[in-house]
Structures are given as C-alpha cells and as structure tokens.
Amino acid sequence: MDEAEPFTFDGGGVDPGERANVRYTVSETYLGDPVRMPVTIVNGEDPGPTAVLTAAAHGDELNGVEVVREVAHEWDLAELAGTLVCLPVLNVPGFIAQERYLPVYDRDLNRSFPGQEGSTSAKRMAQRIFDNFVAPCDFGLDFHTSTRGRTNMLHVRADMDETTVSRLANAFASNLIIGGEGPEGTLRREATKHGTPTITIEMGEAHRFQRGLIDSALGGVRSVLAEFGMLPSEVVAWPGWRTLVADSGEKTWLRADAGGIVDMRHERGGVVEEGETICVIANPFKTETVNVEAPFTGLLVGVLENPVVYPGNPLCHLAELDDATLRAIRHSPNGTEGPR
C-alpha cells in the first residue's frame, strides 16, 4: 500500500497526520508590507488524493469563504485519506476592501490564472497561488457567487468533456450543471488545462453569508470527497433530479427593454412556464408597465435583486427544461437548491 506523503510549497510543508495554518505572502502593499493569504492544509495519515478548495477570487463573494472555513476548521477529518488544501480568501486586497476586483488596478484575479512572473500585479499574485497550492493538487472546487444586485441558485459550472471534471460535477450533486470550459484565465479553466481538474460552484449573492446555500454546498463537498475516497464513511449524494445545459444555446439572459422599477414575480431556482410573466417593469407612477414573459419553459438560474434597471440591464438567467426534467422537479422533495 502506498504511504502518505508530505504536502510541500515554497517555504514550507505539512507531513501526514498534521495540519497547518499559514499566512502565505502573495504580494506587497505600497509600504512594502506583505499581503498574506490564509491557507489551511490538512494532511491525512492515510494516502489519497490532494484536493484544493478555493473561494473569494472575487473579494466580495463570501458564501464560499464560509464553506471552505467550515471544512477546514469544523469538520472531523480524523479519517481523511489524502490532503485538503483550503484557501478561503484568494483575493486578499479585494476582500479587505469588499470589492470584486483587485483594488487600485481594477484587475480581475479570476482572469489572471495561471499567472506569470514579471507581469501585472494580478498575474504575479495568481502565479504564487497557482504554482504553490493549485498545480500540486489532483482536483479543485472553486466557490463563487453572483455579482452585486443579482443572486444565483446553487449550481456547478464544468467542462463536461473532461472525464474527471465530469466526475467532480456529478458528485457535487447540484440540480443544475452548466457545461463549458469557462473564460480564459479563470481558475477552473486554467487549472483543468494544467492537470488539476476543477469545477466552479455558483451560489447566492455577494456581500453576505446565506446559511441554506452554505449548508447545501457543504453537502456537495462531502459528496465529492466520498466519490474520491477521501472520506470513507461518507456517501455520494444524488440531488433528486439534475439537468445539464450547455454554456450557450439552452440558456439565456433576459434583459430589460425599458427603464424603471422591477417587480420580480419569481425567485431563483423557480420554474416558469413559456409565456408566464417573470417580472413587471413600471415607471414611478405605475402608469406605464412592461411585462417580461418567459420565452420558453425554464429554470431561473439567477434573478435580479436590485429592483431598478436601465434598458439593457439583465433581469434573469433562464435555462431551458425538457419534459422529463420538469416531471422530475415536480416529484422531487428536495426543491432546487442542491444536495441535502
């Protein structure tokens, strides 16, 4: 039987049966002080895969922060086979400022992977994170939320043409998987390309903890670790029903054709029938209204939270459903927010 091995990174390592909390330097401030990213590494006594859990690549996306923290610091990991690398806050400057992007330069850390030495501040930071804590791992789970003013149902985004990525996505046990490799420079695309198959988990909205979504995501993590033999006593979950849509074609953003105040008639994760009113846009006097109807029967992946729009602003993200999936949803006790 293979023996467990240390997990090493530039400047340190963690032996089997040990854990470490590290503040790892990824950049510097204007004053030359270190910008340090929190890292928790739990190395099990028994051999197994190495998994990386990441959150807050966008500094204001907080639900995943709590997911990663709870896995690292509240779970009983005595039976862990393999190693967990937990990175709850990738974008430390953005997290401190509670901004989506890296402050000052307004660069998107999640378009900067795998990074590059001698390049921009974002790519230098991405390179430190990627080379030390992502590339050495066997697979990854990257947690995100919607941007400000919108909210997403819990779902997975994954390149389903990649065998291990598909296995990860199915094991996470969300109701919805959106297939596709993702934009260039994103952590999941570049990690998968460089040998660490990775999925993105989208859940909720920015700037808050949403307990129900966090608990569902924790169930998904348990299911993935069970699938890969890292938690032998756990079982792989099934969400009750599942639909897979392509990154283009079977989903669409509905956008406002008029400015005004929005009365959203459905919540994220809801099912709307073709021709049903999703929301109504009205002027301040309610003397002029615009009904926004569903162009097909679908699942509301994401909806507007901020109820004011200009023409062209997104209102909702709708994924088309077939008859078999509709029947499964209607007979499922679990609803549409993922694993229980």
DSSP state of 236: -
Answer yes or no: is 242 within a domain.
Answer: no
Task: Based on the fold, state whether residues 214 and 319 are members of the same structural domain.
Answer: no
pTM of the predicted structure, to 2 decimals: 0.95
CATH number of the domain that residue 114 is part of? 3.40.630.10
Domain count, the chain: 2
Domain boundary among 237, 265, 285: 237
Amino acid at 217: A
Position 49 scores a pLDDT of 98
Position 340 scores a pLDDT of 47
For the chain, which ranges sit under pLDDT 70? 1, 248-251, 334-340
Answer yes or no: is 336 within a domain.
Answer: no
Look up the domain containing 293 and give its range: 249-330
Per-residue model confidence as pLDDT tens digits over 68-124: 999 999 999 999 999 999 999 999 999 999 999 999 777 999 999 999 999 999 999
Contact 254, 279 (CB under 8 A): no
Position 335 scores a pLDDT of 61
CATH number of the domain that residue 281 is part of? 2.40.50.100
Answer yes or no: is 317 within a domain.
Answer: yes
Task: Based on the fold, state whether residues 205 and 273 are members of the same structural domain.
Answer: no
Position 336 scores a pLDDT of 62
Domain boundary among 211, 237, 263: 237
Task: Based on the fold, state whether residues 220 and 316 are members of the same structural domain.
Answer: no
Domain boundary among 173, 207, 237: 237
Task: Based on the fold, state whether residues 269 and 215 are members of the same structural domain.
Answer: no
Distance CA 249, CA 298 (A): 13
Task: Based on the fold, state whether residues 154 and 73 are members of the same structural domain.
Answer: yes
Position 2 scores a pLDDT of 80
